[in-house]
Amino acid sequence: MAVATEALHRTKQFFIEIGELSTFASRFFKEVIKAPFEFKELLRQCYQLGVRSLFLVGLTGFIIGLVLTLQSRPTLIEFGAVSWMPNMVGISIVREIGPVITALICAGRIASGIGAELGSMRVTEQIDAMEVSGTNPFKYLVVTRILATTLMLPLLVVFGDLIALYGSALVENLKGNVSFQLYFNTVFGALSFGDLIPATVKSFFFGFVIGLVGCYKGYNSKKGTAGVGLAANTAVVMASLLLFMVDFIAVFISDIFYEL
């Protein structure tokens, strides 16, 4: 009985949080079209959240390209299909692996960072001070960060995909004597707009989800300094779960278009 009650309580809390997150998102869409526009803060957040993530995204992408090629190569050799390696790796990375892994890396770094930053501002009453002084803290703190993650994540995905393909090409060059030019020509020959467009579009939604969840958790942080750590932790968990849900919806819709 106690287990059922606890499960019911958690389910209720989940739907309440989804409703509050939806309200938070609707406020973002209202504020984003209103003046004044914080362009300087937006550029600063693009640098902080995007440019400073390049090394982590690039390193992760490079390792993914290496590991995927090293793991797949023996199987393809066994079936005499090693020449299909560039096609397989290129389509896998561009369609699914690159966007999802990059988004998860950014969820761990960016969502937690935003949650901790805004959470500390909330518990130290800096946000309240901004409201008293006549500044719109939601416009300055939330809108700029969500826009920055939405705009920068597709660029990070492209960067991570290229580095991952370079790592794969490096393995093929060392083990199969395949030139880099031949490898990339084969990869780009196998890709089509049907591969690139869905991956690019869902990257914008990934960035929006990461920024929205991080800002929501931090902006509504409570329970003092302990709430800051809780906001950072729950931001990562919630953003990761929503990323998988968005990815499932995107893949489902793209499959419908493929069938048409």
Domain locations in the chain? Answer: 44-259
Q: Which two tokens stand for residue 114?
A: 């935003």
Exposure class string for 56-76: b at 16+ Cβ within 10 A, else e:
bbbebbbebbbebbeebbeee
- What's residue 1's pLDDT? 64
| Whole-Å CA distances, 122 to 23, 116, 138 | 19, 10, 12
- What's residue 260's pLDDT? 61
Angstrom distance (rounded) from CA 260 to CA 238: 34
- What's residue 12's pLDDT? 81
> How many Å is the Cα radius of gyration of the chain?
21
Q: Which two tokens stand for residue 49?
A: 């959240």
| Contacts made by residues 231-235, CB under 8 angstroms, sequence distance 24+ | 231/115, 231/116, 231/118, 231/119, 232/112, 232/113, 232/115, 232/116, 232/119, 233/112, 234/115, 235/111, 235/112, 235/114, 235/115
* Tens-binned pLDDT, residue by residue, of the chain (260 aa): 667 777 787 788 878 888 899 999 999 999 998 888 889 999 999 999 999 999 999 999 999 999 999 999 888 888 888 888 999 999 999 999 999 999 999 999 999 999 999 999 988 888 888 888 878 889 999 999 999 999 999 999 999 999 999 999 999 999 888 899 999 999 999 988 888 888 999 999 999 999 999 999 999 988 777 888 888 999 999 999 999 999 999 988 887 776 66
User: Cis before residue 86, ω within 30 degrees of 0?
Assistant: no
- What's residue 259's pLDDT? 65
Angstrom distance (rounded) from CA 161 to CA 224: 40
DSSP string, 188-256: HHH--HHHHHHHHHHHHHHHHHHHHHHHHHHHT--SHHHHHHHHHHHHHHHHHHHHHHHHHHHHHHHHH
Look at the pTM and tell me if it is higher than 0.75. yes
A 10 A CB-CB count for 134 gives 6
The amino acid present at 14, given as its one-letter code, is F
